[in-house]
Amino acid sequence: MGERDRALCEIAEKVSHDAARVSESDWDELRRLGLDDEAVLEVTHVVGLFNYLTRLADGLGVLLDEGTRTASETGVALQRR
């Protein structure tokens, strides 16, 4: 995993687990790695949406279909038909 991917994972984790404590300085590393304000906003949106969708699915008890579960367990991507 590269430096930029690692920084993205770190901010995604903080936004997911402690969003109220994210500060401007938390984004400094990503800015140093080339992200601008638009990219910072996009990262925040993507993390927020994934958190929302996961909570929605968990709250409704949504279960994965067999193909998706197998792909998740094996790491082999689903194939389009």
- Kindly tell me if the per-residue pLDDT of 20 is higher than 90: yes
Q: What does the pLDDT read at residue 79? A: 86
* Rg of the chain, C-alpha, whole Å: 16
Buried b (16+ CB within 10 A) or exposed e, 10-19: ebbeebeeee
- Kindly tell me if the per-residue pLDDT of 81 is higher than 80: no
- pTM flag (> 0.85): no
